[in-house]
Amino acid sequence: MSSFTKREQIVILIIVFIIISILGFEFFLRDIIKVDNSQLEVINNDDLIINEPADNSNSSDEEGTIIVHISGQVNRPGVVELENGKRVIDAVELAGGLKNDADIDRINLAKKLVDEEKIYVPKIGEEVSIELSESIATTSDQSQSGKVNINTCSKSDLVGLPGIGDVIADRIIEYRSTNKFSTIEDIKNVSGIGEKKFESIKDLITVK
């Protein structure tokens, strides 16, 4: 058997190199596109979860301004403008402070205010009408234990709870208009109130 010429040897080497290169490239591609079938999940349209936009209302509670009307036993009754998140005591100070005969036992100076709220500071021994009583700063619907009754409380009481902003407060009020809360756990049926938020308010609310 005659030996290959030098030219034939070069051609054979080139062919062998091309074959090795092609095989090596195929293995390389196979490693790149290799997919672990055990980790592949097929998601149907029915399984898609659309996350509801986070309720950022509470983070904006301290931004902007609100306007409230304060009257009764204050030195300068009228409309005052405050930063959002301020409390009754702040409105009282802007109204010139309390008069000497103001009944401070019937108002909650620590109550957080909401826009367009009406505050009435009664006089000691004064009997007020139902209409005015709804404006007294202590009309927060709380039980003797100091808890907020989520079935009957005002929006301002709800906003005063940790993590509850204007948006969620409106949702709670809308929900209870057709569904009475039987237990405090029912509040988790309101969109935006998950387990974490419930844990932060459960000791502050009641349904009785």
All residues at 6 or more sequence positions from 98 whose CB lies less than 8 Å from its CB, including other chains: 73, 74, 75, 92, 104, 121
Q: Which tops the pLDDT comparison, 163 or 9? A: 163
pLDDT digits (tens, 9 = 90+) for 178-193: 988 999 999 999 999 9
Least-confidence region, from 56-60, 93-97, 112-116, 165-169: 56-60
pLDDT of residue 57: 46
pLDDT of residue 194: 93
Cβ contact 66:115 at 8 Å: yes
| Strand order from edge to edge, sheet including 118-121 | 78-83, 65-72, 118-121
Q: Which two tokens stand for residue 202?
A: 């459960």
| Nearest one of 53, 51, 125, 116 to 80, comparing CA atoms | 116
pLDDT digits (tens, 9 = 90+) for 7-51: 777 888 888 888 887 777 666 656 655 544 444 444 444 444 444
Confidence check: pLDDT of 65 > 80: yes
Beta bridge partners of 205: 148
